[in-house]
Amino acid sequence: MRLKFLVYMDRTIKSALISVFYKDGLEPIVRKLHELNVHIYSTGGTQSFIEKLGIPCTAVETVTSYPSILGGRVKTLHPKVFGGILARRDFEDDEKHVKEYEIPLLDLVIVDLYPFEETIKQTDEEKTIIEKIDIGGVSLIRAAGKNFKDVCIVASRNQYADLLELLNTQHGATSLEDRRAFAAAAFTECAHYDVAIAEYFNRTSVSHNFQISFGQRHPLRYGENPHQGASFYGDLDELFEKLNGKELSYNNLVDVDAACQLISEFNDPAFAVIKHTNVCGVAVRKNVTEAWTAALAGDPESAFGGVLITNQPITLEAAQKINELFFEILIAPEFDEEALTLLKSKKNRNLLRQKKTFYPKKEYKRILNGVLAQDADTENYASWTEVGAHETTEAEKQDLQFANIVCKHLKSNAIALVKDQQLIGKGCGQTSRIDALRNAIEKAKQFGFSLQGAAMASDAFFPFNDCVTIAHEAGITSVIQPGGSVRDNDSIQYCKDNGMAMVLTGTRHFKH
């Protein structure tokens, strides 16, 4: 195999293969290629699209002498197609084969992939899903990417604008740097596609490799701190419509995630305030205005600059009250027109309309030189075992269930104090559970709440009876906790001796 030792330089596009699923944005590219006298090869629907524009193109079938077969499963998988893409212009043996087998060289390949991810969102029918696994497209993209020194590959409509600019400014020529950049994007496109397919097939089996891909990169202003670079990978538009405000920051997105997970737990009108991923106020009431008032009252100090979320439309009455507070983000399923006008009065406020509820199925965390993956904490309690001095009343049960949900969304060690479905005190992120309880009691006292008749939730078991003792002395009358300590009976007996209700759930809610 002999080399010509040519210097890699600009390549003028003389021929192009175009075969795409998505035609939007393609017309100006096709017209520009025609203007540059580029010979276009195409297939099926793309060929019809180009011909309807009045632009000539050659059907791939006339090159291969084979029609599209097997219901369209095989169209471009042929040596004359792949030879034209993979032929190395600086290899004399490749040039010899190209001439011998009359293989047309291809300088530009525009190919996208069947909409596999879109299909699995729309149907569960396996037959339909399987037919959206692209074979020819992936093969063409990889071939053109491999031979980037000679061929330019465009693998997504997201790159059409870049290609059109290149065609206009460089008059149909591509540099090695151009082709390498397009190839990098093409292989990324294929990798994302393959991960989506692997995830589909691994739904009922355990994969031995960690594979995940969230699509497009969105650069952020910075990370947790200004000196840290950061990006978000994913599609926020699937979850939210942004109605006002600046670009969301790294810390904003972390808090929005926590807020969305918490609010998804409630069916009745609820409002919550999030600060550094922890709940600093949350309440359930008969309407959005009352829910906001009660949530804010739980800790009006911490609410300053927080992320606010509700599962109810924002009315003008609610907006007038919310407008009195400085906040970063407000999330709601809808905004009344007058409420939106009022809240937009401050341009940097982020107002997000939540299109659908969100709760993850899986959670991931970078650890050491690897990744931890786990199922999301979606279970509030495995059982409801009454072990205290008396059966819980209906009001106590509501408050205990509410407190257990809140505690689940606080950083460990965590204690939540609730009264009338309103968070009135919380302690979180403490190295000692008893310190978390002391913090919660102090918070409640700070904002004038009486703890008489309040409910207490703990994210993990009590190793001693000190927490229930302190709780009783503060006026708390009911407790919910997972249980599981070898000394559970110490806390249970204290509750029985002092008239306190206690529920064991069998479900721990550590959150780190």
- Active-site positions read 146, 276
CA distance 274 to 254: 10
- Chain centroid offset of residue 456 CA: 33
C-alpha distance from residue 21 to each of 29, 133, 134, 141, 240 (Å) = 15, 13, 11, 14, 27
Residue (of 223, 218, 220) closest to 236 by Cα position: 218
- Side-chain-side CA neighbours of 104 within 13 Å: the count stands at 21
Counting Cβ atoms within 10 Å, is residue 186 exposed (0-12), middle (13-18) or buried (19+)? buried
Residue (of 247, 255, 273, 219) closest to 348 by Cα position: 247
**Residue 485 is encoded by which pair of tokens?**
């300590």
Is 501 within 8 Å of 479 (Cβ atoms)?
yes
**Residue 205 is encoded by which pair of tokens?**
């089996």
CA distance 179 to 181: 5
Q: In what order do the strands lie in the sheet with 270-275?
A: 240-244, 350-354, 329-332, 307-310, 270-275, 278-284
Is 58 within 8 Å of 80 (Cβ atoms)?
no
- In sequence order, what DSSP letters do the residues of 158-171 get, joined into one string? GGHHHHHHHHHHHT
Q: What share of the chain is helix, strand, coil (3-state, %, to 5)?
A: 40, 20, 40
